[in-house]
């Protein structure tokens, strides 16, 4: 088992250096491979020496295991053994013929434009914290930033005059995302009035700060979204839901998928194509509601 854990560490280091993946993605690879190593260890083997049959057996669905979880395990397994083969640490690739479950395309949870309007209007902008939250929600909806990109955003990456945000996304790739006038205006007010009060003279590079006079965490951004949407009676909403709303509303209003792909920072257009399904579902619902034979 120790040998397996050392190999996993080598693999994760390789991903960090070659692909520049985020810490969360690297941690997910590490957890999945450690889980697989534990299953193989229980059968008297391990990752280092496992053959194709042992891998296939270890990757059989477990009680209560979702297809998406098994698909992720198989994807991690394939990449791990390809790394071992390419680096000469194994003479074969036992994961080459592994087949995962058929992908199940699910529509992302999103918000209607009315829901978003209600969320944007929910913070009490007469207070510094309310101003911060309004500016934060406006920017999230205007740009579709990931929550990690949002809380990591620094003052130097914000150009209010040009109405553009520069961010480093997955794979350590930089992209420029425009924002609309409402987001620009609320950010200008927040930066001029609320942020200095929250920091009380302390220097901080992050755009969004807390009463602790430091940058906001991912966990706090999640809590704020849940708190305000809970007040509005909306359930199951996360920062990623606002990102989905950003993309969905763009597509609904005629934006090209390639443009949405660039704005979201998706490496592959296939990731963005799910929003065509979102738009089709909306069209079906409108047809059913308004057509005399709907």
Residue 235 lies in a domain: yes
Q: Say which of 30, 70, 266, 277 is annotated catalytic.
A: 266
Both 275 and 150 in one domain: the answer is yes
Active site residue 146: yes
Q: Is 79 a catalytic residue?
A: no
Total tally of structural domains belonging to the chain: 2
Q: Are 242 and 171 in contact (CB under 8 A)?
A: no
> Where does a domain end: 86, 105, 130?
86
* pLDDT, position 61: 82
- The pLDDT tens digits of the residues spanning 189-221 come to 999 999 999 999 999 999 999 999 999 999 999
* 266 is annotated as an active-site residue: yes
Residue 273: per-residue pLDDT: 63
Q: Residue 83: which region, alpha, beta or left (left: phi > 0; alpha: psi -120 to 50)?
A: alpha
Asked if the structure places residue 25 within a domain, the reply is yes
| Same domain membership, residue 213 and residue 263 | yes
Same domain, 158 and 68: no
| Tokens linked to 221 | 């951004």
As a whole number, the mean pLDDT across the chain is: 85
Decide if 93 is inside a domain. no
Same domain, 81 and 125: no
Determine whether 275 is an active site residue. yes
pLDDT in the model for residue 104: 56
- Whether residue 102 lies inside any domain: the answer is no
Residues 159 and 72 in one domain: no
What global pTM score does this model have? 0.62
Q: Are residues 284 and 149 in the same domain?
A: yes
Active-site residue identified among 30, 72, 79, 240? 240
Q: Determine which one of 31, 35, 70, 170 is catalytic.
A: 170
Q: Which two tokens stand for residue 187?
A: 């950010």
Is the residue at 279 inside a domain? yes
Residue 66 lies in domain: 2-86
**pLDDT above 70 covers what percent of the chain?**
85
Specify whether the CB–CB gap between 247 and 240 falls below 8 A: no
Clarify whether residues 217 and 76 are in a common domain.
Answer: no
Q: Does one domain contain both 6 and 130?
A: no
More confident residue, 187 or 28: 187
Active site residue: 146, 195, 244, 249, which one? Answer: 146
- 108: in domain: no
Give catalytic status of residue 227 as yes or no.
Answer: no
- The stretch 115-143 carries a mean pLDDT of 96
CA angle 67, 171, 264 (to 5 degrees): 75
Please indicate, yes or no, whether residues 146 and 45 belong to a single structural domain of this protein. no
* pLDDT greater at residue 41 or residue 111: 111
Residue 12 and residue 118 in one domain: no
| The Cα angle at residue 175 between residues 170 and 180, in degrees rounded to 5 | 120
Ramachandran area for residue 205 (φ above 0: left; ψ -120 to 50: alpha; else beta): alpha
Confirm whether 268 is domain-assigned.
Answer: yes
Please state the rounded mean pLDDT for residues 64-80. Answer: 85
Neighbouring C-beta atoms of residue 169, cutoff 10 Å:
18
User: The CATH number of the domain where 202 resides is what?
Assistant: 1.10.443.10
Using a pLDDT cut of 90, give the percent of the chain over it. Answer: 45
**Residue 210, class by beta-carbon neighbours within 10 Å (0-12 exposed, 13-18 middle, 19+ buried)?**
middle
Tokens of 101: 């479950």
Domain-embedded: residue 294: no
Tell me the β-bridge partners of 166: 176
HEC states along the chain? CHHHHHHHHHHHHHHHHHHCCCHHHHHHHHHHHHHHHHHHHHCCCCCCCCCHHHHHHHCCCCCCCCHHHHHHHHHHHHHHHHHHHHCCCCCCCCCCCCCCCCCCCCCCCCCCHHHHHHHHHCCCCCCHHHHHHHHHHHHHHHHCCCHHHHHHCEHHHEECCCCEEEEECHHHCEEEEECCHHHHHHHHHHHHHHHHHHHCCCCCCECCECCCCCECCHHHHHHHHHHHHHHCCCCCCCHHHHHHHHHHHHHHCCCCHHHHHHHHCCCCHHHHCHHHHHHHHHHHHHHHHHCCCC
Q: Of 290 and 12, which is predicted with more confidence? A: 12
Q: Do residue 74 and residue 160 come from a single domain?
A: no
Q: pLDDT confidence of 225, banded at 50, 70, 90? A: very high
Told to judge if 170 belongs to the known catalytic residues of this protein, a careful annotator would answer yes
Q: Is the pLDDT higher at 2 or at 154?
A: 154
Do residue 138 and residue 244 come from a single domain?
A: yes
pLDDT at 66 over 90: no
More confident residue, 20 or 63: 63
């Amino acid at each position: 088992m120790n040998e397996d854990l050392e190999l996993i560490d080598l693999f994760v280091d390789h991903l960090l250096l070659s692909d520049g993946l985020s810490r969360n993605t690297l941690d997910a690879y590490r957890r999945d491979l450690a889980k697989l190593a534990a299953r193989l260890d229980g059968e008297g083997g391990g990752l280092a020496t496992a053959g194709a049959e042992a891998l296939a057996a270890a990757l059989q669905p477990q009680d209560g295991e979702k297809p998406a979880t098994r698909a992720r395990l198989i994807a991690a397994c394939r990449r791990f053994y390809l790394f071992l083969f390419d680096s000469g640490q194994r003479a074969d690739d036992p994961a080459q013929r592994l087949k995962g479950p058929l992908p199940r395309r699910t529509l992302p949870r999103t918000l209607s434009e009315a829901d978003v309007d209600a969320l944007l209007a929910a913070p009490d902008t007469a207070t510094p914290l309310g101003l911060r939250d309004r500016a934060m929600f406006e920017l999230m909806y205007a740009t579709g930033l990931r929550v990690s990109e949002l809380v990591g955003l620094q003052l130097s990456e914000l150009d209010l005059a040009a109405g553009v945000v520069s961010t480093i996304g997955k794979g350590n790739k930089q992209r420029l995302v425009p924002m609309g006038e409402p987001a620009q205006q609320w950010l200008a007010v927040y930066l001029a009035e609320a942020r200095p009060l929250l920091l009380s003279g302390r220097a901080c590079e992050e755009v969004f700060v807390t009463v602790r006079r430091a940058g906001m965490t991912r966990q706090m951004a999640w809590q704020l979204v849940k708190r305000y949407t809970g007040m509005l009676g909306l359930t199951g909403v996360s920062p990623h839901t606002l990102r989905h709303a950003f993309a969905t509303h763009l597509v609904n209003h005629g934006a090209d998928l390639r443009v949405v792909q660039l704005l979201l920072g998706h490496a592959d257009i296939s990731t963005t194509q799910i929003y065509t399904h979102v738009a089709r579902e909306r069209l079906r619902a409108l047809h059913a509601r308004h057509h005399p034979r709907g």
